[in-house]
Amino acid sequence: MTKQTAIVSGAGKGIGKAIAERLAADGFFVYIVDLDIEGELVAGQLGKDNATFYQADISDESQVLALFQAVLAQHRALDVLVNNAGIIRDHMIWNMTTADFDAVIRVNLKGAWLMCREAAKIMKTQQSGRIVNIASRAWLGNRGQTNYSASKAGLIGLTRSLALELGKYHVCVNAVAPGLIDTPLTQRLKPEILEQLLQAQPTKTIGAPEDVAHAVAFLASAKTNFITGQTIYVDGGKSIGAGI
């Protein structure tokens, strides 16, 4: 294989699918990692020379170890890891169960950490690589998302610390923080809630998965070798915070 290799978690649909499609278009061979078998369709559409599907739960340590073994068995290097898989279990804290908290932290934070650890071992040795973590504007705070917001704040802390650890090995680690993006996750929102969220946007628009993929492709590129530990917002300006 002469192509560069990328792993994208949660690439069976939504933002992850758009990232996988974009990286494949940019010439990467992409591992579409997802719990859901839907990822097979995405890989099929991209073609066997450009992508493959790997079914795994990224919050399960043994499945993550097996994934990286499988990648290394086929490819000599890992160039890009995109930690995109994420879930929500929204409730006001007084209605949130411990299971809601644990599930979100387990996938969004522990899962990304497990993936980062295995990628870091490879990228440190090869002295190159890019890791992009998909956080969320909600890390700044969102009612009903104490679990999710904390998981994404943790992911940004992880990103910054890992950038410090891997900097001298020429590995860049950054985060992308999307705002309101049109995916199966947000398509489940009640129309009146979606309308309220749109009105709170400086742009009054919802983003497309491709908007996030564009920022990820930039950070995944070998040209961005002096950008690390940063968070790029793709949120129509919501993070500016002065909306009324």
> Interface residues with ligand NAD (CB under 6 A)?
9-10, 12-16, 34-36, 57-59, 84-87, 107, 111, 134, 136, 178, 180-181, 183-186
CB of 137 to ligand NAD, least distance (A): 6
Token pair of 221, please?
């590129």
Question: Which is catalytic among the residues 54, 148, 169, 233?
Answer: 148
Q: Are 213 and 15 spatial neighbours (Cβ–Cβ below 8 Å)?
A: yes
Element (H, E) at 22: helix 14-25
Q: Judged by CB, which is closer to ligand NAD: 32, or 128?
A: 32
Q: Can you tell me the distance from the alpha carbon of 227 to that of 12, in angstroms, rounded to the nearest whole number?
A: 28
Q: Is 158 left (phi over 0), alpha (psi -120 to 50) or beta?
A: alpha
Considering the complex, state which of residue 78 and residue 107 has its C-beta at the smaller distance from ligand NAD: 107
Nearer to ligand NAD, 109 or 128 (CB): 109
Output the smallest distance, CB 29 to ligand NAD, in A. 19
Q: Provide the minimum distance between the beta carbon of 59 and ligand NAD in the complex, in angstroms, as a whole number.
A: 5
User: CB of 130: closest distance to ligand NAD in angstroms?
Assistant: 18
Residue 101 CA, chain-centre distance (Å), reads: 19
139 burial (CB, 10 Å; 0-12 / 13-18 / 19+) is buried
Compute the C-alpha angle 169/175/179, nearest 5°: 170
148 is catalytic: yes
Active-site residue list: 148
